[in-house]
Amino acid sequence: MSKNIIVSNRLPLQIVEHHGEYNFVSTSGGLATGMKSVHQHGNSLWIGWPGIEHDSIQSNQWNILKKALIQDKYIPIPLKKKEMEDFYYGLSNECLWPLFHYFIEFSKFNQKHWNSYFKVNRKFADAVIENLQPGDYVWIHDYQLLLCPGMIREVVPEVTIGFFLHIPFPSFEIFRIFPWRTELLNGMLGADLIGFHTYDYQRHFISSVKRILRLEVSYNIVDYKTRKIQVSTFPMGIDYQKFENIAIEHFEQKKEEHSEIFNLLREYKMLDQANKIILSIDRLDYTKGVLNRLEAFEELLEKYPHYIKHVHLIMLMVPSRSSVPHYKRLKRETDRTVGRINGKYALLGWTPILYFYRSMPFDHLIDLYISADIAMITPVRDGMNLVAKEYVATRVHHDGVLILSEMAGASKEFFDALLVNPFDKVDMVEKLMQAIEMPIEEQQQRMERLKKRAQRYDVTKWSNQFMDTLKETELLNHDETSIKINETMAQTISSQFKNAKNRLLLLDYDGTLVGFHENPEKSVPDKELYDIFDQLCSQKNLDIAIISGRGQNFLDKHFGRYPMTLVAEHGYHQKLVNKQWKTTDVQNVEWKHHIIPIVETFTDNTPGTFIEEKENSLVWHYRKTDPELAKARVVELKTLLSSLVADELKIMDGDKIIEVVSSRVHKGVAATQLYARKVYDSVIVLGDDITDENMFADLPQEVIKIKVGTKQTLANYYFKSQIEVRPFLKRLY
């Protein structure tokens, strides 16, 4: 039975030492909370760090704890103090975290940290590989493990991997700053499915993939080496029912069962029904916008003093990453600001801000949610923010107001909240006032809609949708109209071909015999390819032709010495064995004089593009330009050209090129002519791009037509990648 392997930096429980005794304690945090329910239901294994530095624990103790964890389907990854410093605090939290949250100036780029990040990712990948069985699904989480998918894929190419990023993916202009950006993207693209909380993050990721790796992307599918990778949005939800049920239970508790904080806040409300409790809950982190929030609250009291005594800000800050300098500084500034505001406005029996710097037990957290009239959640940048969703779930009387930052992923779903720009103090104060004054009917209308959304798209739906989509990606890489050539098939095809009396082999060059290169001039044949042709050309009763879009000089230079047919420029020039080059009698190239000035205008307006003039065609290359700009220009140029070109001209899309050719000359015509020269009893044709489709279309059915690559094709067979071509050709002699 296949299983799901969850991989995250931390396990959802932590080994804690107390006077030489070790215990397991559950951890909070968005990811842990969300994935716990996935792990509990169904057959799964969770791989992660168990929260204790490996050098601080004796090996016999470790073995005992490890055994206990494995019994509960957890695989602990041992990480030492130094690894935590460099991989976790260093690269993950002092570099990636600030960068991905747009705090560029906080990011430290340190080679040592990167080396450690690489090594620890390898450690996680190895643990996955060790526990992997055929049919398993791997789901890797978050920014600490961006290299892991690629590392697993290298060793186990056929595994199905999903990756989900819990934090924002920044815009290309920010991401490009990261010195190891190529490695990170390649690492992520080891996955089959890459998920983000919002469409904006998805769009930023795709933009980086296009601009940095120059990959082809259609809608949300990235063409990467031999695979297609799906990039999608899955806004993470919470365990809605659990929060709602606990909130109901809390309301039903007797007074003496209530927590101290609940009773305290209730008393405050009893003093005056108009009193309002504003709640703020975050991990202490500069992305959460605590200082902006405090300043807005101060401004409210300053500008509208009638709220003094009638509002309370309850601020829970959960300690986090307290050894990182920026967090220490933020803690000091927060303490100072809270102190200043409280010092300035406090009265006997009323302190404006009730400030807790600690983690609270879950029940107290629920009491805060159900007591608060307003939740003020205003991060300056936040992947999703589950606290906003939890607040909504606990509002069992459908009252309360959510003030939510536009910069939190949750704002994309929660448009019934009061959305606010956390950098705009005036807006923040206005929204605070609006929330305080909001009539109960409006509160209920908004809250009901928010609840509906949070309930419908809960954490189970989120994880099910991710897993279902992950399973469907297997179909993405399967072309239904043609058959992938496997070992047995390659054996059958080659032995039939070898046993035939008269044989013809038609071969495209770029993308078939050689891989693509940034610079086409560098895609020249190598020794292995020459060895193959030496062998093929010494076979009896075998006619060979290279049918290419390349010019005759190129083909002559590299293949002129072989007794085989060369077809250049898609059929415009042809050189039969032991004959001279001949040009097809489509002589009218007058059209080029009309088309060139138009294409030149596009070249001028589109930096990075250039024109290649071939004898019988014009090629506009746009590989080196901005992909988004290219996309728009290609549509414009094609529309313009189609309105101008006569029937005898054709506009063809190639690999990052547009080619205008005479429609009376194409590879299909050339291939058919060669096919008709003799009676062949076995013919094989191989090609990879759109121009080769003409050969697949025009040659008769009995020909073995093989597409190189997984794109849509008229061929009846395919190889996933160009790498498979040469071993196949070697079977033909």
One-letter identity of residue 290:
V
Q: Which residues pair with 230 in a beta bridge?
A: 193, 221
Taking CB under 6 A as the binding criterion, the range among 17-25, 356-364, 593-601, 613-621 that sits at the site for ligand GDG is 356-364
Residue 314 contacts ligand GDG per CB under 6 A: no
- Rounded least distance, CB 453 to ligand GDG, Å: 15
Closest CB to ligand GDG among 197 and 558? 197
State the chain's maximal CA–CA distance in angstroms.
Answer: 106
**Cβ distance 541 to 503 under 8 Å?**
yes
Number of shown-chain residues binding ligand GDG (CB under 6 A): 23
Cα gap 669→570, rounded to integer Å? 9
**Binding string to ligand GDG for residues 195 to 234, with x set by CB under 6 A, is what?**
----------------------------------------
Please pick, among 282, 382, 416, 508, the residue that the annotation labels catalytic.
508
One-letter identity of residue 74:
Y
- Rounded least distance, CB 615 to ligand GDG, Å: 58
**How buried is residue 398: exposed, middle or buried, by Cβ count under 10 Å (0-12/13-18/19+)?**
middle
Cα gap 3→134, rounded to integer Å? 9
Q: DSSP letters of 387-450? A: HHHHHHHH-TTS--EEEEETTBGGGGT-TTSEEE-TT-HHHHHHHHHHHHH--HHHHHHHHHHH
Closest CB to ligand GDG among 50 and 379? 379
Which residues 110-169 are close enough to bind ligand GDG by CB under 6 A? 166-167
Is 468 a residue of the active site? no
Cα gap 123→657, rounded to integer Å? 42
- Rounded least distance, CB 412 to ligand GDG, Å: 12
Q: Which of 23, 28, 182, 495 binds ligand GDG (CB under 6 A)?
A: 28
Closest CB to ligand GDG among 9 and 548? 9
- Rounded least distance, CB 280 to ligand GDG, Å: 11
**Cβ distance 732 to 536 under 8 Å?**
yes
Residue 31 contacts ligand GDG per CB under 6 A: yes
Closest CB to ligand GDG among 463 and 548? 463
**Binding string to ligand GDG for residues 275 to 294, with x set by CB under 6 A, is what?**
------x-x-----------
Closest CB to ligand GDG among 94 and 382? 382
**Binding string to ligand GDG for residues 587 to 626, with x set by CB under 6 A, is what?**
----------------------------------------
Q: Which of 6, 9, 10, 30 binds ligand GDG (CB under 6 A)?
A: 30
Closest CB to ligand GDG among 25 and 104? 25
Q: DSSP letters of 648-665? A: TEEEEEETTEEEEEETT-
- Rounded least distance, CB 288 to ligand GDG, Å: 8
Long-range CB contacts for residues 621-625, cutoff 8 Å, separation at least 24: 621/656, 621/657, 622/656, 622/657, 622/658, 623/214, 623/518, 623/655, 623/656, 623/657
- Rounded least distance, CB 321 to ligand GDG, Å: 11
The one-character DSSP state at 272 is -
Residue 318 contacts ligand GDG per CB under 6 A: yes
Which residues 373-432 are close enough to bind ligand GDG by CB under 6 A? 382-387, 390
Q: Which residues pair with 582 in a beta bridge?
A: 574
CA atoms within 13 A on the CB side of 321: 22
Size of the chain, expressed as the number of residues it contains? 733
Which pair of tokens denotes residue 701?
A: 């059915």
- Rounded least distance, CB 87 to ligand GDG, Å: 18
Give the SS3 label for residue 704: strand
Which pair of tokens denotes residue 538?
A: 């010494």
- Rounded least distance, CB 634 to ligand GDG, Å: 37
One-letter identity of residue 210:
K
Which pair of tokens denotes residue 90?
A: 């260093």
Closest CB to ligand GDG among 148 and 246? 246
Closest CB to ligand GDG among 201 and 680? 201
Q: Label the pairing between strands 216-218 and 221-224.
A: antiparallel
Binding footprint of ligand GDG on the chain (CB under 6 A)? 28-31, 33-34, 166-167, 236, 281, 283, 318, 359-360, 362, 365, 382-387, 390
Active-site residue list = 508
